[in-house]
Amino acid sequence: MDSNKKLGLVGRNISYSFSKKFFENKFQKLMLKGISYDIFDLKEIDEVENLFSQPEVLGFNVTIPYKEKIIDYLDELSEEAEKIGAVNCVLIQNGKKTGYNTDAVGFEKTLLLHKKEHHLSALILGNGGAAKAVKYVLDKNGIPSEIISRNSILNFDNLSTEMVQDHKLIIQTTPVGTFPNINDCLKFPFEGLSKQHLVIDLIYNPNYTRFIINASEKGAKTVNGYYMLEQQAEKAWEIWNFQKK
């Protein structure tokens, strides 16, 4: 491999990210030299043009709040990314910038690992890029879902206990409660939860968000975003495919 090649993560306020350590450990295990994984903390999405002008950058992951905004800067989307309308992995090959969505793979693996027969319908909390990947996976698996966001007809102010009782699968896709704001929590009728519920919070730092703690206190089975993160990162690695370069 040519020396001094770069991968990285594009987002805003992302110093907490697990990705750098994850990929640096992978480089070490595979004994890859001359490649680094950097944090590209961008105040505005148009700053991504600086990355595209650097020939040593081979690709990058994309996180909040740029999973949708990055699309305007790419040449092509994978079929899945196009259907979802969000990108969290970019490959730069021969000057061509292609966007992929590996969140879908990561979420689907998480869902299928924990889903039971009675998890027949879902509430998706949030409507950003991650929520779009979640909706895509739920649709693919025949699970009807409702989106709850600040601006939707069904929102955090009018979400009822009965609605929560009727949807045994809850997926929290917003950044509320992420480190360092670990005491923050979405407004949510936790009293609607039961032992029949599966609550997946896509946040991985901290391990247990206030949302997950509140849900587990009501008896719900809870899962954080760490496994999803690992799986989407492995899929990104497969896309970049450096082992064969």
Nearest CA among 175, 224, 161 for reference residue 198? 224
Locate the domains of the chain by residue range: 5-101, 104-228
Residue 243: is its pLDDT beyond 60? no
148 forms bridges with which residues in the sheet? 125
Residue 16: is its pLDDT beyond 50? yes
Of the pLDDT bands very low, low, confident and very high (cuts 50, 70, 90), residue 54 is very high
Which one of 1.10.3720.10, 3.40.50.1820, 2.40.10.120, 3.40.50.10860 gives the CATH number of domain 5-101? 3.40.50.10860
- For residue 122, the model assigns a pLDDT of 98
- For residue 3, the model assigns a pLDDT of 58
Domain 104-228 in CATH 3.30.70.580? The answer is no
Q: Give the residue numbers marked as catalytic.
A: 67
Taking phi over 0 as left and psi of -120 to 50 as alpha, with beta for the rest, 136 belongs to: alpha
Mean pLDDT of the 84-94 span: 95
- How many residues comprise the chain? 245
Nearest CA among 185, 216, 218 for reference residue 200? 216
Residue 245: is its pLDDT beyond 80? no
Fold agreement between 5-101 and 104-228: yes
Residue 2: is its pLDDT beyond 60? no
